[in-house]
Structure 1
Amino acid sequence: MPRLAVPLTEAQIRALEPRATRYCVADGSGLVIEVMTTGTKIWRFRYTLNGKRQPLATIGDYRMISLRVARAKAQKYAEMVAQGISPVATARRDRGAESKADVLREAAELYLATEMAGKSEEYRRTTRRALDKDVLPAIGHMPIKAVTADDIVAICDRIKSRGSPKMALHTRNVVKRLYEYLIARQLAASNPAEVVPARSIATFDSRTRVLSGDEIGTMFRSIDASSIRRPLKLALHLLVLTMVRKSDLVESTWAEFDLDKALWTIPAGRLKKDRDRQVPLSQQAVSMLRELYQARASRKFVFPSVRGDDRPIAKSTLNQAVKALGLDVEHFVLHDFRRTATAHLREIAQPSSEIDRGAAEMPERIKQDASAENDAKQRRGMQQWADFVDAQIEGARRAATSTP
């Protein structure tokens, strides 16, 4: 029985080095990649027709054809062979179409069809919008290697002239990622967007970064539509709803929660403070926590490690989950959730400063009454904040469904 080829990965293909003589590595189902002495890698299709082994049919240059696309072409050619038809002529026509990828517009389509295939729908949409609206109309006709930093600056300047510096920076970053992909496939030698400093386009102070309502809605709609694990989706939602530090959330235990009272008590020892911290929970937060409790994989931790041992997820897990989504929110880190919540809550919740200023001078009984009133206001504020977040997500959902 012939030995079956082990399917290749993109990483394995990129790691293939040239030798003194050219050689082939099989992916399976007739698909092989031939590594030339120059380092060029060519997809070929190996097949037998009418009982005779035929010369390899050329699919095309690896730089222009991803593993996924090569497999699809090999499958198409295999179906032709099964019908007694040689795939050579069809492969030649296919290569003619691929050869146009030295023009930026065609290269961008290759990028969208391959590199973007595994990204979220929202990420693909915003990337294509930047390319279609500003990049390709200006430089799409140019050869990949002819695009310069001046071309990128001119595009960004036009966008800024419309009063959209953030969109200009986003567009520069789209081009930068496009060229990173083209360099990896040896279709470009340099990245014209990389030499354009981000601060020359738009600047943000990371210490004052606050997400707008639209950004909140877009982000959480993308998170909800993604394929990351459900507990991580809920963790990201709870992080913004509870306004706590990331470590406070990921290390939380079930013993800290009283869901019937909608209250989370974070122990002083875990906070490294002198006293516990009580966090009122919105209806949405309680609902999410009940869902987590129903499906709990640990009797102790709310977010246990998937390794099976009784410990929480790593502090970096949520960052990695967001990074894997490819969310295009400029200059944003998870810590900005707290600042974002505080800024918006300041606008939508009623102030309680008068109680705070006078509390120290009140008799004990009156102080307790004031404290209870302050707790009630805090609860109302947290619920208002959760309702506000829900409204932004719903707004993003409506905007997406109404976009043609």
Structure 2
Amino acid sequence: MPLTDAKVRSLKSRDKDYKVGDFDGLFVLVKASGSLSWRFKYRFLGKEKLMVFGDYPAVSLARARTLRDDARVQLSAGNDPNALKQAAKRAQLAQASETFGALADSFLRKARAENLAASTLSKTVWLLDMAKADLGKMPICEITAPIIMVTLRKLEARGTYETAKRLRSKIGAVFRFAVASGAADTDPTYALKDALISPKSKPRAAIINAHRLGQLLRTIDGYNGQATTRHALQLLVIVAQRPGELRQARWAEFDLVKAIWTIPAERMKMRRPHVLPLPPQAINILKNQHFLTGNGDFVFPALTTSKRCLSENTLNMALRRMDFGADEMTSHGFRATFSTLANESGLWNPDAIERHIAHVDKNAIRGIYSRGEYWEERVRMARWWADNLNKIKSEMD
């Protein structure tokens, strides 16, 4: 006879557990402790099996019958309902462990294995740490575009629009990594592409006026701070490379006899090695610096330890102490100074200038036909640039 709610409520415990049946395999197990547990007995592939639906009254009689009926539908389709239940539970547990933070950490391990530049890794860690503060403990499959937008709006509220844009990109990279590993289905950041405030493009400050450049060059030569900082700035003006590439330079990269500097791929932005011709002025600066740091690894070590290179802010702070503000000149701006004046001279192939400062043509087809190193022209151009700097410096006295 089928059970009723009143019948179930009236069941009392005994010295031993006992069963009271409903119908179609459903029964309630009355335990000696007094608790009531719904069970479903069925046969699958000739074997008797048992499913547990939960305790009464948390699981009512009506709910227990619904669960029983669902299980019977699965049986009729040739499936073991208990196996399906356990698989769903495992999937749920897996999803709970696949948090954004865990996937972000895996993404970072992949990035480190790819030998990305230290500065690139540092920025990636910094951005993902911001994301993990809000999203880290959430299962990645539960994170939606509006949830991500809340995090990005915090940055926009502070006016850091470029950081918000970069953070969206990095979160998207983690999601694409998660999609590839099966932890997520889509990248929700794609829907946010046009939702953020676009930062106004602001080029790095650079001096391109010859008179003011001459003042800067003379001020650098007279800088009374650390000699290593002075030499780094003097060399940066001549070679016109990225400050990070110069700061992290090692003596093993220089051949002062052949007058070349080979920057390894792992330190280059485009992950390609870059060979630079060195004019005599650059060789002289390096020889002077060699007296100071030639016994170590770094050409321009930190002021407090030879185990690290100059810090990212050292060169810019030196410019500030020389009264050249951030709105007028930055250490990265020497590249723009070289590029502008070299192009304005009309003496050099624009492709040779771009190759010299390690710019890669964004036009893929054009890039295929512009792979020449322009080496001979770059050697002449490097000497012209160093001589021209001396001329600018002397003519402005």
TM-score by length of 2: 0.42
TM-score by length of 1: 0.42
Give the number of the structure whose alpha-carbon radius of gyration is greater.
Answer: 2
